[in-house]
Copies of this chain bind each other. A is one copy, B any other.
Amino acid sequence: MRAVIPYKKENAKSRLSPILSRIEREQFVELMLRDVVFSLREAGVNNIDILATSEYRSLTDLNVNIVIDPNDLNESINQYLEKMDQPVLIIMADLPLARSEQVKNIISSSEDVVIVPGKGGGTNVLFIKNPSRFHVQYYGMSFCNHCAIAKDMQQSLRIYDSFLLSTDIDEPHDIVEILLHGHGFSLEYAQEKFELESGRARVKLTSIQ
């Protein structure tokens, strides 16, 4: 099997701009990517492709295969899948809470397709045993799209229930989850910049001055 991580660094995570500058966001996405790669390796996944929009020299030490495709996410993943003759795990780069335990559970599933829903109808992880016969349709209600695609193709489907993997880091309040449940580089980075403020209601994020 192989894992593929779609990755774009330029002006990444614009919804975090109220709390992180462009340079900081570009640093941060790379650290999140590094945590995802770490958890994949820890789960025994050694064939890792990063599907990048352009060449990123800073990733050289990661020792992964960089596939450059400037196309749209759906187009580039579908082109990637077409050529694949082995199971593929598509995992997003903004899932720094991913741990090896969840990755291991997903890739050892007996079903043909495993979908890990994200908040708000997204698809955060997709494991496809017969990738050349599958196609992805991200954006919008992609969770429903991918369930329907698997069904249309008569592939058996598992919906994998994980809070850690449902938590993609998009908005400032998502950083709270890194501080509470994170690890690795992204936790270290978040701890340098933010702290939690706890009242009676939900925990809030404040910047460390």
Contact = CB atoms under 8 A, between A and B. Distances in A.
Most B CB within 10 A of own CB, among A163, A164, A196: A163
Contacts of A139: 199-201
Nearest to A179: B121
A122 B200 CA distance: 11
Interface in A137-162: 139-141, 143-144, 161-162
Most B CB within 10 A of own CB, among A117, A121, A122, A139: A121
A208 interface: no
A71 B181 CA distance: 31
Interface residues of A, number: 29
A201 B140 contact: yes
Interface of A: 102, 117, 119-122, 139-141, 143-144, 161-166, 173, 176-177, 180-181, 196, 198-203
B120 A181 contact: no
Contacts of A201: 139-140
20 contacts: A117-B163, A117-B180, A119-B177, A119-B202, A120-B173, A120-B177, A120-B202, A120-B203, A121-B180, A121-B198, A121-B202, A140-B198, A140-B199, A140-B200, A140-B201, A141-B180, A144-B180, A161-B163, A161-B164, A163-B166
Contacts of A165: 163
Contacts of A199: 139-140
Nearest to A165: B163
A166 B173 CA distance: 15
A74 to B, nearest CB: 11
Given A140-B200, A140-B201, 12 more contacts: A117-B163, A117-B180, A119-B202, A120-B173, A120-B176, A120-B202, A120-B203, A139-B199, A141-B198, A143-B180, A163-B166, A166-B166
A164 B159 CA distance: 11
Contacts of A120: 173, 176-177, 202-203
Nearest to A200: B139
